[in-house]
Homo-oligomer: A and B are copies of this chain.
Amino acid sequence: MTEHLLLQAAFKKPIARTPVWVMRQAGRYLPEYRATRAKAGDFLGLCKNVDLAVEVTLQPLDIIGVDGVILFSDILTPLEPMGLELSFNPSPVFANPLKSEADIDNLRVPDPAEGVPYVGAILKKLRVEVRDRVPVIGFAGAPFTLACYAVEGGGSKLFSKTKSLFFDQPKLAFKLMDKLTDMTISYLNYQIDSGAQMVQIFDTWAGSLCPDDYDRYVFPWVAKVFAGLKGQGLVPRCYYINGGAHLLERMAQTGADVVGLDWMSDLGTVKARIGHQVALQGNLDPNVLFASPDVIRSRVKEILDKWGKDSGHIFNLGHGIDKDVNPEHLKAMVAAVKEFSVR
């Protein structure tokens, strides 16, 4: 079995240099992605077209030289077979958001092999085509974040409907969380069975909660997801919150092997706080990629210097790469990581 840099770093095993990948690396900043997407039609069509989804997943490996490829999909696709009608215009919209206890009772928890068969097919094909050059990363949305979308019917600035549900009817909210948690466990285990060698849980909206509410409404279900996953000690689990700087100690206690950081946290400070418990992934400000390659190189070096030379760090942006970034700038970032992080 190849000792992939990414998996070694996630488990804090010795590495020759720091591995690097980028959230949303298969994305619109790449002309090659835009060409493939045009063939697929819309975004959801691309997610469900196995051949084209594999094609875009592999593009950053061949073009940018990242150390891992991540399943091309969306955190909301597994909600479709639960009974929610999803579309993208281009932001995600559910035609039938959850409005009542009956709506929540009616949610199904299907077998992912029947509900989202394309996800398994993509992962299996990816493993063949990647030829073990790098690991294949799977992912899912965390239960609270999925609940936000399902209750609001899409994105939101305040999530006031979702929060009102949790504040005023916690038992009903917890029933929803239980169903989403069961679904997420079987969905991620299906990904692992299909070949995912690392998994990341995105808890995009958990950062909008104060620490007490995170403890009440998020932590127990995330911990249950991690406890329910196959491959403990073999398939590293990463947990990412955008805007989670106030929740880092809690994130480190969920059972995650890797805590994904946005760019607000100082990597050196966070290493001192939770680096003895988990590996860390991050955390360059994505806006740095709009600066000149010289600036990009110096900012990469700053972050690598904050970590030092021991294992346990995976380089990444603190958030998804923006569609307007020049791919040459991302290449400069990846090259700098590879150059400056050699042990």
A interface vs B, CB < 8 Å? 158-160, 163-164, 167-168, 207, 209-213, 243, 245-246, 263-266, 269, 283, 285-288, 290-292, 295, 299, 302, 318, 322, 324
Contact = CB atoms under 8 A, between A and B. Distances in A.
B290 A210 contact: no
A23 to B, nearest CB: 14
6 contacts: A163-B285, A163-B287, A163-B290, A167-B299, A213-B285, A245-B264
B263 A210 contact: yes
Nearest to A214: B264
Contacts of A163: 285, 287-288, 290-291
A230 B291 CA distance: 39
A242 to B, nearest CB: 11
A164 B286 CA distance: 11
Nearest to A264: B246
Given A167-B295, A209-B285, A211-B269, 13 more contacts: A158-B287, A163-B285, A163-B288, A163-B290, A164-B287, A167-B288, A167-B290, A168-B292, A210-B263, A211-B266, A212-B266, A243-B264, A246-B246
Contacts of A288: 163, 167
A293 to B, nearest CB: 11
Nearest to A322: B158
Nearest to A306: B212
A124 to B, nearest CB: 36
Contacts of A265: 210-211, 246
Given A168-B295, A212-B302, A287 B243 contact: no
B160 A264 contact: no
Contacts of A291: 163-164, 167-168
Contacts of A167: 287-288, 290-292, 295, 299
Which of A213, A269, A302 has the most chain B CB within a 10 Å cutoff? A213
Contacts of A243: 243, 264
A331 B200 CA distance: 43
- Give the top 4 A-B pairs by smallest Cβ distance, nearest first: A167-B291, A245-B246, A163-B287, A246-B264
A60 to B, nearest CB: 20
Contact of A287 (B160, B211, B264): B160
Contact of A285 (B207, B210, B264, B287): B210
Nearest to A284: B210
A271 to B, nearest CB: 14
A144 to B, nearest CB: 14
A225 to B, nearest CB: 23
Contacts of A245: 245-246, 264
Nearest to A159: B287
Given A164-B290, A288-B167, A264 B213 contact: no
